[in-house]
Amino acid sequence: GRDDSVCAPRRQNGQSVRQASPVTRADLKEVSHVMRVFRIAIPASKIGASRRFYETVLGLEADDTVPSRLYFHCGDVIVAIIDWEVEPLGPFQPTPENLYFATEELDAVHERAKAAEARELSPIEDRPWGERSFYCLDPDGNRLCFVDETTLFLGRGAAWS
């Protein structure tokens, strides 16, 4: 059996300190639960413009239960648009990497992105790795990619060209 404690106590400057033990590949194979993502946060400097954009592009109504956030329930994951005027966590910066959305209606989403005046909207293209997708920016410059649900590249040893 495996020792279930992931932290081994040690002493530093006379104080008891818990330090994470190194994780091996064998440890990873023994994990009995799956970690999952349930919420992704995207900063917004213009929350009204972001609300209109995401409601149009995603085709979903915003859940504004939290006054400083807009929640979009995308399957099991919530996309949270954070009002940076209310919850500034430092200087505003758009996300540095793409946030990927899978959809069964890629052509319709592309049309909605046009209608929402998405910035730097690319055409729908077949990618070398097999995905059919398009890229754009939201009103704050956050990077988004929309991918045809039937063409998702998921890694896991899939062919890479």
CA distances from residue 144 to 4, 16, 54, 156 in whole angstroms, order as listed: 39, 45, 11, 23
pLDDT for position 29: 63
pTM: 0.79
**Do 110 and 124 meet the contact criterion of CB atoms below 8 Å apart?**
yes
Confidence grade of residue 155 (pLDDT, cut at 50, 70, 90)? confident
H helical segments located in the chain: 25-30, 47-58, 106-115
**Do 76 and 38 meet the contact criterion of CB atoms below 8 Å apart?**
yes
Residue bearing the bigger pLDDT, 22 or 8: 22
pLDDT for position 156: 80
DSSP 63: B
Q: Give CA angle at 36 (34, 38), nearest 5°.
A: 155
